[in-house]
Every structure is written in C-alpha cells, then in structure tokens.
Structure 1
Amino acid sequence: MNKLKTELSENLFYHTIHHTLDVYHCAASIAKEEGVTDSDLKLLLVAAIYHDAGYLIQNKDHEQRSCEMTRQYLPQFHYTKEDIDHICNIIMATKIPQNPKSHLDEIICDADLNYLGRTDFFSIGENLCKEMLAFGYIKNKEEWNQIQVDFMQKHHYFTPTAIRHNNLQKEKNLAKVQSKINY
C-alpha cells in the first residue's frame, strides 16, 4: 500500500491508491452479500489490494506485473503457492475484457468496475479521462465519450449483488454519456 501511495506515476489520475481502496471496499461489500467468508474472503481482498500494483512497473499488461509482485512479496507473509496462484487468477480476471472463471473472479470484476453503476460515475470517469489523455490513449473528450458508450454497452455485472445495486444507475449514466455525443 505504501508503494501505491508514493511510487505511482503522477500521470495516473484514476489508477491510484484511492481506486485500489475503492475496489477493496467494494469487493468486501459484494463478498459479504454473496456469502463469501474466511479464507476465500482473505484471498479476494489480497487480490483487490494487488490487482493494479503492476502500474508501479508499466501500464500495458499491468495485471501480469501485479501477479509477479504477488509472487515476489506474498511468500514473506506465509502465503502458499496455491494461495498465490489463486490470487493471481483473481487478479487476471480484471483484465479487459473481463473473463471471470470463478465466483471470486466475478466479485473482483464487479468491484473493479463498480463505479459504472454509481452516482459518482462522472467524477471518477473524469479522472480516467485525464489519465487516458495524459498517456495519449485518447485525443479529446469526444473520443472519450464514444469509448465510454461503447464500453458501457458491452459491459455487464456478474454477481446478483452488483446487478441489483448497480444496473439501474449504470443505465442512467450511460444515457447521460450518450446525450453528450453528436451522432
């Protein structure tokens, strides 16, 4: 956590310690409603903490770097190879396009993109837009809005909890973004 606080690129406006903590808390909340407990909850929450740690090294394929970091650091905390493999599988599920293979994967995917279906969507999205502009992934707000619409139309939540809590607001957010585009 300290590395995420102090060593991330200053051009990361979205993939910050705040995003990591948001994903952690969302994962914990979804997991509680989904009935996840004990060792599975611990693995999920460790994966949430490490899921974007790879941004300390690089943006592209950061999930793989995140897994490398878990393999480097977690043995010091007495995690087994099997636990670390499981944590890495959870982390890799967050790679876009998301492809969860387990219930824990589904939870972290929903936690990672939870903001799409929240009322703070636009303020969080603004930080992602700034980040994408800073790295040259997009040229302007118009391109950003179109990417958002395309992404949100393809996205779906996986867990009953996220579907119940986020789908309606996500549809409202999508409609607002669509209204900004000149078709």
Structure 2
Amino acid sequence: MKKFVLSKIEAEIPATLSYHGVHHTIDVLNACNAHIRRLKIPSKDAYLLRTAALMHDIGVMWDYFNHEELAMKFVKDTLPGWGYSKDDIDKVCGMIRATRLPQSPTNLLEEIICDSDVDYLGTHLFYQIGATLFEEFLVYKVVKDEESWDRVQIKFLNNHKYFTSYGQRFREPVKRKYLLEIIRKWGWEKEYQHILAAN
C-alpha cells in the first residue's frame, strides 16, 4: 500500500506543487515514525497512523483548497480493498480531518499527525521548506509577494501550537525564534509588539 500511494502521488500530483509533493508525504511519515518509536505506540495504532500520514494530502491532486475532504473520500474508496475495517477507516479519516487548518486533534494519534504535518516549523529546515510553500502559494495566488507571505507566516506561526509533549518541548521554542526573526527582518516590531511581548 505504501508503494502504491507514494507512486500515485509522485506520478499524479501537479508539478506546480513544490511543497505538497511526495517529499512532504515522506517527511510527515518519518516524523510520525519518530513519535511512534518515542511513545511506543501499539502496532495497530501505528499502522493506522502511518496510513493517515501517507494519505493525508493525496487530495491535492484533485483540489488544492479542499484536499482533506477528497483525501478522506479516497481513503473510504480505497482502503476496504486493502483489508481495512470501517472502524480503521474512520480512525484514518479522523486523523486526516484533524490536519485541516486550523488543526483540531481530539486524541493522541491525531495530535501526532498534526505535529508531524508541520514538524519543519521547529527545525533547521524552516526556511528551506518554507521557501517551497511560498513558491506554491504564489502559484495558487494565496500570497502575491514576499511581504504578504511573511505576514501570512507571522499570523500562522503565532496562532499555531504543537500538541505533543515532544513538539511543545523541542519544536515550539525553535518555531518562536523564527517568528521573531521574521518580524525583525521587516522592522515590524511596533506593529507586532503584542507578539514580541508574549515571547
């Protein structure tokens, strides 16, 4: 199933998706695997979490702005053929649904996939991976230039929170550092003084 999904993503996701490509799916899967090892997640739950990680963004090949709904439809149509029960499929769909912004996890597995989906925000890859999302946002007219991109980033980084204890301890402080860097880069300290005061 993993090979099938990754091959489908690689073959069918539009080239304009510089962020939501197969590399992002693999990054999310790897981050989930790290949480699975760290938290000793039981094998059945781990299998469902990995499935959700593989499937969570597959819907972007059909609709960029509604991809979670389409990913869940794909899961419901596809996973019975791989032997998944209705309960399994409901859990996988719950994890995918939780990643829709603003993230809304209701259990540990959903918290893990939410943190894994944006793991890079609290790592040394923040600017490198962020540049691919900026490029994608330009194509889909989410932002028009670097300034509007950084304003979107400031709002997102300030409102976002990590849910797992690992994310809160190790990713959150790094993410906050990048948030402050972006504000200072533009000399926006006065405009965003409420954010600076909270950090």
Superposed pair shares fold, TM > 0.5 = yes
Which structure has the higher relative contact order (CA within 8 Å, separation 6+)? 1
For residue 7 of structure 1, what is the amino acid of its counterpart? E
Match of 1:141 in 2: 146
Match of 1:113 in 2: 118
**Cα separation, 2, equivalents of 1:130 and 1:157:** 25
Match of 2:37 among 27, 32, 38: 32
- TM-score using structure 2 length: 0.89
Shift in Å, 1:38: 0.7
Structure 2 spans left out of the alignment, 5+ residues = 1-5, 189-199
After TM superposition, the structure 1 = structure 2 runs for residues 69-84 of structure 1, keeping only pairs within 5 Å, are 69-84=74-89
Q: Does 1:86 align with 2:91?
A: yes
Match of 2:185 in 1: 180
Structure 1 spans left out of the alignment, 5+ residues = none
**Cα separation, 2, equivalents of 1:13 and 1:74:** 27
For residue 171 of structure 2, what is the amino acid of its counterpart? N
**Cα separation, 2, equivalents of 1:175 and 1:30:** 27
For residue 15 of structure 2, what is the amino acid of its counterpart? E
What is the aligned-residue RMSD (CA, Å)? 0.9
* 8 Å CA contact retained: 1:30, 1:162: no
Q: Percent identity?
A: 35
Shift in Å, 1:139: 0.6
Match of 1:63 in 2: 68
* 8 Å CA contact retained: 1:34, 1:161: no
Shift in Å, 1:127: 0.3
Structure exhibiting the larger radius of gyration computed from Cα positions: 2
Shift in Å, 1:30: 1.5
